[in-house]
Amino acid sequence: MISGASSGLGRALAIEFAGPGATLGLLGRNRERLDETAARVREKGAVVRSAAVDVRDRDAMRSFLLDFDAAAPIDCIIASAGMTMVTPVPGGVEDLTKAEELFDVNLNGAMNTIAPIAPLMRRRRAGQIVLFGSLAAFAPPPDSPSYAASKAALVAFALATRALYRADGVSVSVVCPGFVDTPMAGSYSSWKPLMMSAEDAARRIRRGLDRRKAIIAFPLPLYLAARFQQWLPDSLRTAAMLRFRAVQRLPVR
């Protein structure tokens, strides 16, 4: 089961996991793009059931997820749906009036995705839960503090839940990518070092999930740099973070 499957990494993951014998549930807000993803997945031999649902709609999410699980018990649920927000003008600050929507999508949307299925996985003593953080959780960019905060919350939640669910046979992982060539990354202008394709990122995520890693972070040089900057003196860290500013292009989810 993959949310955010109508574009970006969610779409790439759907295609990566597709194949004969696979049954995929795909969720996305854009019906046309979701149908395109579903068609590509079917071409690879997978059985697909999809629904155009907003992850913020708790009741609709719960209804679809439980119906799907009753027909094909979910062994892996990937909450990849999300949105970003950066400063609207060069040198400015983010529009905090839009932070509520961002948290609703990134945090509540993720909870709406996993909440109906987690108890069932624990009861079956099997399954994988996958949340999406970001390298921004470790090195918060000054041009997208709300986005970074939402991703840091998901990292903390995933690591805590991983420890809690281990005894129930359920694995929890958090994906923390760097820059990936997706519509979300294209929604803002900034320096984007080591940016990779969505297909490459999906392959890395799948390898990490096969190993049931706690944190699936890539590319490694950026991950190490993000962790290292946490130990820098505040003056150096601030100077480094402010050296490359980002500015919004289009609001993309």
| Residues noted as catalytic | 147
39 burial (CB, 10 Å; 0-12 / 13-18 / 19+) is exposed
Neighbours of 101 (CB within 10 A): 14
83: which 2 tokens?
A: 């949105």
Residues paired with 52 in a beta bridge: 28
DSSP 3-state of 77: strand
- Which residue carries 């292009």 as its tokens? 249
The DSSP result for 166-230, as a single string, is: GGGT-EEEEEEE--EESTTGGGEES--TT-EEHHHHHHHHHHHHHTT-SEEEESHHHHHHHHHGG
The 3-class secondary structure across 111-153, one letter per residue, is HHHHCCCHHHHHHHCCCEEEEECCHHHCCCCCCCHHHHHHHHH
Distance, C-alpha 235 to centroid of its chain: 31
Give the span between the Cα atoms of 228 and 252, in whole angstroms.
Answer: 30
